Amino acid sequence: MAFKFEKLEVWKMGVAYANEVHLLTRKFPKEEMFSLTSQFKRAADSISLNISEGATGNTTPEFKRFLVMSSRSCAECITCLYHAIARKYIDQREFDEYYRRTEVLYMRINKLKNSLE
């Protein structure tokens, strides 16, 4: 492992989450390909992308700034879940599962951010 972010459990969780969101959105209708599907996938990808980008910076404040962006991407994913269930693209079980996973990821990102203070 050449980069320090590769050792971060929260980064690994973010990568896994993005891959699972990708699989979940495959069942969304084609008409959503360039709207909700794309937005959800980009927000999920941004979680781990911001962690890695921030971790390669030279300062703690910079890393914390990227962790804030990562946590905001979690919030964006939560909103995508609300849209998906309202449009009946996912069921309540899927909503609850992904909501919980997003919430855990959000809390882990904030725990890492707070540990840097």
Instruction: Look at residue 58 in the predicted model and tell me its pLDDT.
Output: 79
Please provide the size of the chain in residues.
117
Q: At residue 115, does pLDDT exceed 70?
A: yes
Cα gap 20→14, rounded to integer Å: 10
Its domain, for residue 67, covers 9-115
In 3D space, the residue among 115, 81, 96, 112 whose CA is nearest the CA of residue 13 turns out to be 112
Cα gap 95→85, rounded to integer Å: 7
Q: Is residue 44 part of a domain?
A: yes
Q: Is residue 89 part of a domain?
A: yes
Query: What's the CATH code of the domain at 39?
Result: 1.20.1440.60
Residue 74 structure tokens: 């979690």
Provide the H-helix boundaries in the chain. 9-25, 36-55, 60-86, 92-115
Q: At residue 117, does pLDDT exceed 80?
A: no
Condensed to tens digits (0 to 9), the pLDDT of residues 64-109 reads: 999 999 999 999 999 999 999 999 999 999 999 999 999 999 999 9
Condensed to tens digits (0 to 9), the pLDDT of residues 18-55 reads: 999 999 999 999 999 999 999 999 999 999 999 999 99
Instruction: Look at residue 73 in the predicted model and tell me its pLDDT.
Output: 98
Cα gap 27→103, rounded to integer Å: 23
- As a whole number of Å, the CA-based R_g of the chain is 15
Instruction: Look at residue 2 in the predicted model and tell me its pLDDT.
Output: 86
Domain count, the chain: 1
Q: Is residue 4 part of a domain?
A: no
Q: Is residue 104 part of a domain?
A: yes
Q: At residue 112, does pLDDT exceed 80?
A: yes
